[in-house]
């Protein structure tokens, strides 16, 4: 083998090895130490007041509730946008170009700026306006303060591009023949989309939803000022409540727990829960994507 070839193979192989080794080493360490700390109790109990013992159940619930509300709010908008872009927008339409540019820019906005936006728009503008209109005589603000609702909506805006891009791609991959067959049978465009295109693009759309959920579950910066709380002895029952969140809980445990050494087991356990959650979601998205691609090729 030639020296240049050997050099290329060696150098690039080494880089890949370093990347994989770093990934394996770091996540291996976290998983090993986290698995030792994880217990059934951690998953079903509320944390003790100093956060060092007990569990993270309220944080798991808060994360789940927040991402579910986010999905309810964001996915319909994202899917509808993608349907419009893929099925209705004329080629080279200026409006569609603008929407695509907006989606691309939205995807690049730093997450902390979403936090600023969530606080400035949802909490202080929308929330305060609702209070001013309907709860004029309340002693303390009802909607005009950080809450689960506002965090979820902020995250819905943040994950919108993921849903739109993946869904549009999935819809575009639906074979033309299927649509033609539907029209030939006399179906309208709306019926064709609802009965043929969307069901056929199901796996692809679901990929986008799962990716959005995984992204939303892991983001901390956008919820810092819009609703997350350090400590809640009970799970929130109202969308106007604050909530605990796994990612924020990791941050709090790692930097603000009263006794970091005693809380070490809790941090590792929480990190592992969060990591497993996002890994499972992302792996599911990868599998769904693979299935979606296979489905259209056959």
Partner 1 sequence: MNGWHLLPAALLVLACSGRYGGAPGAGARITVRGSDTLVVLMQRWAEASTTSQPDVVVEVSGGGTGTGIAALMNGTTDLAMASRPIAREERARIEGSGAKLVEIPVALDAVAIYIHESNPLSALTLDALRGVFAGKIRRWSELGGADRPIVLYSRESSSGTYAFFKEHVLQKCDFAPEAQSLPGTAAVVQAVARDPAAIGYGGIARARGVKVLPLRLADGSVVAPDHEAATTGRYPLTRPLFVYLRAPANPEAEGFARFLVGPEAQALAEEAGFFAWRSPP
Partner 2 sequence: MSTSRKPRRRFRRSLGERIAERALALVAASAIGAITLILVFVVREALPLFWDGHEGLALAAPHRYPNYDHPVYVWQPVGYPPKYGVVPLFVGTLKITGLAMAISTPLSLLAAIYVAELMRPRRRAWIKPIIELVAGVPSVVLGFIALTYIAGATQDLLGCTYRLNALVAAIALSLAVLPVIFTVAEDALHGVPLALREASLALGARRYQTVTRVVLPAALPGILAALVLGFGRAIGETMIVLMASGNAAVLDPSPTSSARTLTATIAAELGESPRGSEHWRVLFLLGMILLLITWALDAVGRIVVRRLARRLDPSTDEGA
Q: List residues near partner 1 by CB under 8 A.
A: 48-51, 65, 68-69, 71-72, 123-124, 135, 137-142, 144-146, 199, 202, 206, 228-234, 237-242, 251-252, 254-261
Question: Whole-angstrom Cα distance, residue 39 to residue 56?
Answer: 11
Closest CA to 76 of 165, 149, 156: 156
DSSP 66-92: HHHHHHHHHHHHHHHHHHIIIIISPTT
Q: Which is nearer to partner 1, 147 or 157 (CB)?
A: 147
CA angle 48, 52, 57 (to 5 degrees): 55
Distance CA 136, CA 121 (A): 20
Q: Which residues of 27-45 are buried (b: 16+ CB within 10 A; e: fewer)?
A: eeeebebbeebbeeebeee
Q: How far is the CB of 259 from partner 1 (least distance, A)?
A: 6
The smaller minimum CB distance to partner 2, of residues 14 and 237, is found at: 14
- Per partner kind, with CB cut-offs from 5 to 8 A, the member of partner 1, partner 2, none near residue 259 is partner 1
CB closer to partner 1 out of 230 and 278: 230
Given the complex with partner 2, which of 80 and 234 has the nearer CB atom? Answer: 80
Q: Which does 104 bind (CB under 5 to 8 A by kind): partner 2, partner 1, none?
A: partner 2
With CB cut-offs between 5 and 8 Å by kind, which of partner 2, partner 1, none does residue 88 bind? partner 2
Instruction: Judge contact between 239 and 130, C-beta under 8 A.
Output: no
Q: Which does 189 bind (CB under 5 to 8 A by kind): partner 2, partner 1, none?
A: partner 2
> How long is the chain?
298
CB of 114 to partner 2, least distance (A): 7
Instruction: Between 53 and 111, name the residue whose CB sits nearer to partner 2.
Output: 111
């Amino acid at each position: 083998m030639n020296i240049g070839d050997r050099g290329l193979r060696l150098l690039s192989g080494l880089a890949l090895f370093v990347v994989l080794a770093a990934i394996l080493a770091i996540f291996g360490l976290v998983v090993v130490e986290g698995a030792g700390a994880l217990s059934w109790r951690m998953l079903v109990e509320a944390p003790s007041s100093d956060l060092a013992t007990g569990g993270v159940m309220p944080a798991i619930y808060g994360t789940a509730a927040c991402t579910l509300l986010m999905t309810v709010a964001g996915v319909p908008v994202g899917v509808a946008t993608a349907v419009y872009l893929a099925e209705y927008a004329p080629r080279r339409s200026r409006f569609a170009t603008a929407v695509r540019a907006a989606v691309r820019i939205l995807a690049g906005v730093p997450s902390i700026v979403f936090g600023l936006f969530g606080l400035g728009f949802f909490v202080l503008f929308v929330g305060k306006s609702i209070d001013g209109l309907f709860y004029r005589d309340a002693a303390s603000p009802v909607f005009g303060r950080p809450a689960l609702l506002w965090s979820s909506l902020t995250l819905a805006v943040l994950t919108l591009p993921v849903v739109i891009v993946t869904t549009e791609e999935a819809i575009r991959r639906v074979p033309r023949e299927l649509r033609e067959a539907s029209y030939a049978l006399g179906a309208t465009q709306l019926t064709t989309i609802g009965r043929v295109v969307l069901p056929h693009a199901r796996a692809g759309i679901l990929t986008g939803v799962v990716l959005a959920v995984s992204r939303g579950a892991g983001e901390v910066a956008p919820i810092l000022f819009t609703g997350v709380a350090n400590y809640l002895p009970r799970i929130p029952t109202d969308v106007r409540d604050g909530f605990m969140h796994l990612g924020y809980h990791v941050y709090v445990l790692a930097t603000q727990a009263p006794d970091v050494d005693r809380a070490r087991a809790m941090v590792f356990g929480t990190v592992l829960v969060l990591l497993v959650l996002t890994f499972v979601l992302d792996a599911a998205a990868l599998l769904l994507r693979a299935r979606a691609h296979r489905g259209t090729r056959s």
